[in-house]
């Protein structure tokens, strides 16, 4: 009777060892994220980083600004919000790992409070939808991707 429990015990021990080993290994960071989901009024867009990088040959810096003091690109909404409202003003700095990124928009690294005259001219920084449309549509037009008013639903889900 005890003999039949040996294979079960061995299998359970192996599975437990594999689980412990898998949990102890550091997580591998993806070089290029597989995809990003962007919710918006025009319908959700599922953007495939991997296809644009691997199949079309684009580099991160082709779309993301590469001169903002970040080791890795940040979310587009970190610089291009849905609106330049109080939530954005009080929260956006959390997306950046270095104060060097502040200098992309600010003349100096902001302190606790920022006088109105020291704030960047948000009229010259596109909101998220405008930045996406300019970046994506210009690239699609130049490189033969879906482009024009009739192609919206090739990217936007209905």
Residues 36-75 pLDDT 10s: 888 887 888 888 988 888 888 888 888 887 666 667 777 8
Judge contact between 73 and 67, C-beta under 8 A: no
Residues 104-124 pLDDT 10s: 788 888 877 777 777 888 888
Give the residue with greater pLDDT, 120 vs 26: 120
Rounded CA-CA distance 54/133 in Å is: 22
Domain ranges of the chain: 36-154
Band (30; pLDDT cuts 50, 70, 90): low
């Amino acid at each position: 009777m005890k003999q039949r429990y040996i294979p079960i015990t061995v299998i359970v021990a192996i599975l437990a060892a594999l689980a412990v080993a898998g949990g102890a290994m550091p997580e591998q960071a993806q070089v290029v994220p597989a995809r990003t989901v962007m919710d918006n009024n025009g319908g959700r867009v599922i953007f495939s980083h991997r296809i644009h990088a691997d199949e079309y040959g684009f580099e991160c810096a082709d779309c993301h600004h590469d001169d903002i003091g970040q080791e890795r690109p940040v979310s587009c909404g970190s610089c291009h919000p849905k609106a330049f409202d109080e939530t954005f003003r009080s929260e956006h700095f959390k997306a950046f790992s270095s104060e060097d990124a502040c200098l992309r928009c600010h003349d100096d690294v902001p302190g606790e409070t920022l006088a109105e005259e020291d704030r960047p001219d948000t009229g010259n920084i596109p909101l998220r939808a405008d930045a996406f449309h300019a970046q994506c549509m210009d690239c699609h037009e130049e490189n033969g991707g879906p482009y024009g008013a009739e192609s919206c639903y090739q990217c936007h889900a209905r």
